[in-house]
Amino acid sequence: MANRSRRAGVENFHMKINPLAETAIFQQIHDAVVDGVATGALGADDPLPSVRYVSQQFNVNPATVKKAYDLLAEEGITVTEPRSGTRIARSRPANRRHEVAEQLQRAIYYGRAIGLDADTLTDMFNEALTTP
């Protein structure tokens, strides 16, 4: 039964890459996986498509895909094993809290710089927490 739920999660995960976007392709791949984990479309032990598959599907250099996968592994989101491929890690490091705090602080500074007040920022934060 567990295999079915894992397989369903992977089948519900669809990576979208926009080659015309300002965001680098490796970052789009990275962000798609992070979003998949955050929304529950990807769960512990779910496999990611192979580097070769993703590079062929989106017509990008395999090194670009590998760069994204390496970043995910560095962040503890995935693990890669020879001949087994890359999968979502069973547990993710909690010691990255400071990085999240820094990103939130940057978002607050940016919001203030463009004229958003504390109430608006708080509303936006709360909405983001409740949006899958």
Same domain, 20 and 75: yes
Find residue 79's DSSP bridge partners. Answer: 87
Interval 10-38: pLDDT, tens: 555 788 899 999 999 999 999 999 989 88
Q: How many domains does the chain have?
A: 2
Same domain, 74 and 116: no
121-126 long-range contacts, CB within 8 A, separation 24+: none
Same domain, 83 and 101: no
Average pLDDT over residues 82-104: 81
Same domain, 10 and 67: yes
Top pLDDT among 12 and 5 is at 12
Interval 54-92: pLDDT, tens: 999 999 999 999 999 999 999 889 999 888 899 999 876
Q: Which domain holds residue 10?
A: 2-88
Report how far residue 15's alpha carbon sits from residue 108's, in angstroms, rounded to the nearest whole number: 29
The confidence score (pLDDT) of residue 40 equals 86
Which is it for strands 85-88 and 78-81: parallel, antiparallel or unpaired?
antiparallel
Which among 92, 54, 55 has a CA at the least distance from the CA of 73? Answer: 92
Report how far residue 11's alpha carbon sits from residue 1's, in angstroms, rounded to the nearest whole number: 15
Cα 21 to chain centroid distance, Å, stands at: 17
Report the CATH number that the domain containing residue 42 is assigned in CATH: 1.10.10.10
Q: What is the pTM of this model?
A: 0.70
CA angle (104 as vertex; 25, 31 as ends), nearest 5 = 20
